[in-house]
Amino acid sequence: MARLYGFEDMAYRRVRESEAEVLRAAASRRLLKQSYDAIVEWMNAEGHRTTRGGQWRPAVLASVLDHPAIAGLEEDENGKLVETGGPVIVSRGDFEAIRAMRRVNDPDKQRAEQREYLIPGPIGVCGLCACTLGSSPTAAGTRGYRCSPSTAQHPGGCGKVRIMADLLETYVAEHVLAELAKPEVSALIGQARDEVLAQAAVLRKEAAAARRRQKKLGEDYARSPDMTLKTFRSADQELKKLVREGEAQARLLEQVKHVPVGDVPDLVRWWKHAPMKAKRGVLVLMLEQVAVYPAASRGSRTVDADRVGLRWRQWGVAAETTESVS
């Protein structure tokens, strides 16, 4: 795991001033509304390199400037910025101003509604290699899902599965709505939603506990000469993984809060006009996985049980697990 640019140590307590100076200059340029592409071009032309010795890329610089540690901050379990007492490379005001410029906070750059995708990544997987499917528009602009081929940055994918989004989403929606229409299923929606939200709350607590352990680990490493860098990195990486996976799973499950509770007379009509967040919530509530396999022939528009496997969520299992943990 590479150290954070601008710091000597993994605990963010010792600044590498030569890098900090570059980081401040990059932040100043960003505050002047320069694009990351332009800033990176300047950094590479000046001979500045990443901590691994490679050339800068826009996504890498954006990640560094979005890291709270450069402003002596960290995010608590609720996502709020709190001071750590660590060194400050970029002022808190400048850091928050740069964060406010992120694409997710820019209403003019929000993805148009027609570009939205129904099936969340963690649920949609490749039937061959089990890697998460990503959204992948065609050259003509048609929405699609695909298993990306393996790369050094994103290893694991086989790259052999691709499907048009409209075909897959229509097939999945038809099966989900048919299941929801069953009286014995619709009667349990409210209870099931509460169960999944309770499971998400447990995951949040576990991630927060891992984050606190990670903070203490960093403090122990900074103070103790007995802890080796190898030991620290191994433990820190494991805790980061716990936090990342726990929070990601919690965010996925929390989408069920948008599922309507109560009698919906015409499910098909509701689905047609429902906001995407509500539709995704229904999928998360009903399904654990949507596995997509290669088409039987090139250019095939047939979507059936041979090509798409649906794994339904088993309600009651999460509640039992939560009770056993508590």
Least confident segment among 23-27, 88-92, 182-186? 182-186
Q: What does the pLDDT read at residue 78?
A: 65
Helix (H, G, I), strand (E, B) or coil at 223: helix
- For 52-86, what is each residue's pLDDT tens digit? 888 999 999 999 999 999 999 988 666 788 888 88
Which residue do the tokens 């890291």 mark? 67
CATH of domain 17-108: 3.90.1750.20
More confidently predicted of 298 and 8: 8
Assess contact for 172 and 283: CB atoms under 8 A: yes
Domain map of the chain by residue range? Answer: 17-108, 115-326
pLDDT score of 131 more than 90? yes
Confidence of residue 169 (pLDDT cuts 50, 70, 90): very high
Closest CA to 219 of 235, 197, 203, 206: 235
pLDDT score of 323 more than 50? no
Q: How many other C-beta atoms are found inside a 10 Å radius of the C-beta of residue 120?
A: 18
Confidence of residue 114 (pLDDT cuts 50, 70, 90): very low
Write the DSSP assignment of 193-207 as a string of letters: HHHHHHHHHHHHHHH
CA atoms within 13 A on the CB side of 240: 9
Strands (E) across the chain are located at 73-75, 81-83, 124-126, 134-135, 144-146, 162-164, 287-292, 308-312
Least confident segment among 232-246, 256-270, 291-305? 256-270
- For 233-263, what is each residue's pLDDT tens digit? 899 999 999 999 999 999 999 999 998 876 6
Assess contact for 310 and 125: CB atoms under 8 A: no
Least confident segment among 14-18, 101-105, 268-272? 101-105
Dihedral through CA 49, CA 53, CA 57, CA 62, nearest 10?
A: -70
- CA 94 to CA 232: how far, in whole Å? 31
What global pTM score does this model have?
0.60
